[in-house]
């Protein structure tokens, strides 16, 4: 009973945080930015994080986190609009939605598809928040069994998962994670008072700044590709009238059990580091196809094919937040950048986030839920005008985004070194993107390198070398690391061998389902 009261009080206090000043106004600004980023194909949440982190760092911790989470929570709300209306997903997390949403639009049911997607996103986040509350007592019990050795092993697990799940090549992912760890070692070693791999460059004595690196790696390649296209997203004219408000709600209520299943799968995909929104939406879409009496209707305009992926993608957001705040393992690329903001603000992941700072954790969960509800209402009211943003020319967007990026890159240190790093990693980011080298493991290595070093030294200082063999949880995590590295290649080999014997894999409902990189 006492445990339930603690959780209830923290949940109520977290809700008050969301609606306090200046948290709520800054969250609203983040929501507006996120809606814009979702509408324009080629942008998305990662660019949003890269652009907004410098501004968030100038705020109070709770305000800055709400600002970023408000943005990221709604990107997958408005990315449905170009996916349904134009057949061009605003982000890769709306690919599955476009399979049935676009055919619905072509037969005059665009309003129904869009409204169904908005409601599904709301219900998806609510289900994920409910799962967090139900599982919180278990998480609180588990986290108290962890010490410095276990947190060090969890950091290794996060790096391994990022390396093994960020792309098609395990070796490339682990190499990039190792590269990030090497970058994290560039600093002034406080224990001996001497520079480590920084030489006489005073700019690097505090470590490689994260903001110019993030902006360069993620934002510059996308903006350059947008500039190369040089055209509007679509040259066709569409009907911008709002309709289907009640039909979309009825569709959701009729498929309430599908929403619960899809949301649970989405939250699970978010909780497992390295997966993300793309995996969540395809898992949800797959369960909709598998549970339908007429699977052949998918890809032809079945509203369940819109509801399921939208609920799964929305639930992935709160799911990804849990391992980030509890264990310090980012659930996806966006959470990896959010983790860096946590550390800068002094919000150290671990027991404090679900004990003494549980209200802050609940505040983050409620930000995601409230932001989705607000974004859905705004999308319904402003839909006819939001669609027009899809027609903005790249020649208008690119200069604005580039100017914002350059300003953000220099906000932290106001040094020419920031500009040099920004351009250098922008060049590297463009090469990495177009040669299929994953960028997320590099950022995770850079962010988590300092934590890994801290927990490693503390483990040996407090426990000697005995923690390597006399702590069962260390061995459990080590086993998970082993499986995360070797199980996926074995599974791919087994599937390839099986398909080789059985012939080409069969298609489900004429729809080819595949994953998409973050």
417 to 183, 184, 203, 340: CA distances (angstroms): 15, 17, 7, 20
Residue 508 pLDDT more than 50?
no
- CB atoms < 10 A from the CB of 44, how many? 26
Q: Average pLDDT, stretch 256-275? A: 81
**Tens digit of pLDDT for each residue in 465-480?**
888 888 888 888 888 8
Residue 250 pLDDT more than 50?
yes
Contact 280, 516 (CB under 8 A): no
**What is the DSSP code (8-state) at residue 508?**
B
In the prediction, which pLDDT does 296 show?
78
Residue 358 pLDDT more than 60?
yes
Residue 223 pLDDT more than 50?
yes
Closest CA to 124 of 329, 266, 326, 330: 266
**Tens digit of pLDDT for each residue in 359-372?**
888 888 899 889 88
Helix (H) or strand (E) holding 477: helix 472-502
Residue 186 pLDDT more than 80?
yes
In the prediction, which pLDDT does 506 show?
40
Higher pLDDT, 43 or 208: 208
**How high does pLDDT run on average in the chain?**
77
- CB atoms < 10 A from the CB of 398, how many? 17
CA dist 336 and 264 (Å) reads 22
For the whole prediction, is pTM greater than 0.75?
no
97: confidence class by pLDDT, cuts 50, 70, 90: confident
Q: Average pLDDT, stretch 181-206? A: 78
Q: Average pLDDT, stretch 273-279? A: 60
Q: Average pLDDT, stretch 439-461? A: 81
Contact 53, 337 (CB under 8 A): yes
In the prediction, which pLDDT does 24 show?
92
Name residues whose C-beta falls within 8 Å of residue 418's C-beta, 6 or more positions apart in sequence: 209, 211, 212, 409, 410, 412
Residue 315 pLDDT more than 50?
yes
> In which residue are the tokens 């093994």 written?
164
- CB atoms < 10 A from the CB of 132, how many? 20
**Tens digit of pLDDT for each residue in 4-56?**
787 888 888 888 988 888 889 999 998 988 888 777 655 666 677 777 877 88
For residue 465, give both structure tokens: 């070398």
Q: Average pLDDT, stretch 105-116? A: 80
In the prediction, which pLDDT does 286 show?
78
**Tens digit of pLDDT for each residue in 379-416?**
877 777 766 665 666 667 677 777 777 776 776 667 78
């Amino acid at each position: 009973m006492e445990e339930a009261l603690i959780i209830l009080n923290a949940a109520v206090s977290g809700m008050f945080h969301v609606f306090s000043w200046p948290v709520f106004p800054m969250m609203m600004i983040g929501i507006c930015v996120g809606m814009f980023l979702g509408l324009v194909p080629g942008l998305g949440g990662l660019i949003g994080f890269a652009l907004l982190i410098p501004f968030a760092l100038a705020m109070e911790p709770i305000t800055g986190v709400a600002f970023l989470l408000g943005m990221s929570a709604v990107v997958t709300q408005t990315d449905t609009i170009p996916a349904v209306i134009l057949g061009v997903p605003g982000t890769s997390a709306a690919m599955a939605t476009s399979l049935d949403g676009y055919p619905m639009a072509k037969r005059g049911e665009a309003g129904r598809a869009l409204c169904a997607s908005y409601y599904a996103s709301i219900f998806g986040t609510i289900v994920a928040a409910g799962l967090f509350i139900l599982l919180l007592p278990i998480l609180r019990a588990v986290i108290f069994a962890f010490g410095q050795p276990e947190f060090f092993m969890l950091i290794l697990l996060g790096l391994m998962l990022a390396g093994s799940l960020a792309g098609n090549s395990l070796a490339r992912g682990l190499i990039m994670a190792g590269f990030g760890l090497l970058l994290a070692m560039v600093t002034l070693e406080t224990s001996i008072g001497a520079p480590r791999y920084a030489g006489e460059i005073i700019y690097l004595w505090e470590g490689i700044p994260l903001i110019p690196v993030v902006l360069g790696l993620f934002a510059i390649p996308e903006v350059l590709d947008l500039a190369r296209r040089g055209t509007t997203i679509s040259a066709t004219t569409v009907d911008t009238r709002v309709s289907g408000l009640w039909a979309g709600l009825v569709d959701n209520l009729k498929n309430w059990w599908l929403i619960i299943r899809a949301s649970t799968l989405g939250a699970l995909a978010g909780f497992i580091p390295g997966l993300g929104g793309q995996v969540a939406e395809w898992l949800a879409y797959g369960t909709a196809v598998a549970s339908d009496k007429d699977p052949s209707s998918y890809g032809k305009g079945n509203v369940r094919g819109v509801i399921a992926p939208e609920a799964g993608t929305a639930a992935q957001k709160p799911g990804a937040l849990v391992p980030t705040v509890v264990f310090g393992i980012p659930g996806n690329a966006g959470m990896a950048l959010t983790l860096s903001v946590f550390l800068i603000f002094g919000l150290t992941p671990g027991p404090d986030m679900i004990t003494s700072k549980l209200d802050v954790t609940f505040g983050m969960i409620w930000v995601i839920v409230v932001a989705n509800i607000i974004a859905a209402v705004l999308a319904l009211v402003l839909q006819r005008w939001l669609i027009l943003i899809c027609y903005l020319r790249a020649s208008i967007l690119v200069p604005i985004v580039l100017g914002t990026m350059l300003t953000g890159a220099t906000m932290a240190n106001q040094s020419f070194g920031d500009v040099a790093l920004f351009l250098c990693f922008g060049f590297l980011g463009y090469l990495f993107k177009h040669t299929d080298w994953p960028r997320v493991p590099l950022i995770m290595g850079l962010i988590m390198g300092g934590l890994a070093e801290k927990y490693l030294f503390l483990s040996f200082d407090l426990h000697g070398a005995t923690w390597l063999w006399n702590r069962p949880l260390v061995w459990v995590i080590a086993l998970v690391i082993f499986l995360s590295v070797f199980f996926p290649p074995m599974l791919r080999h087994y599937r390839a061998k099986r398909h080789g014997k059985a012939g080409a894999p069969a298609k489900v409902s004429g729809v080819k389902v595949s994953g998409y990189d973050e």
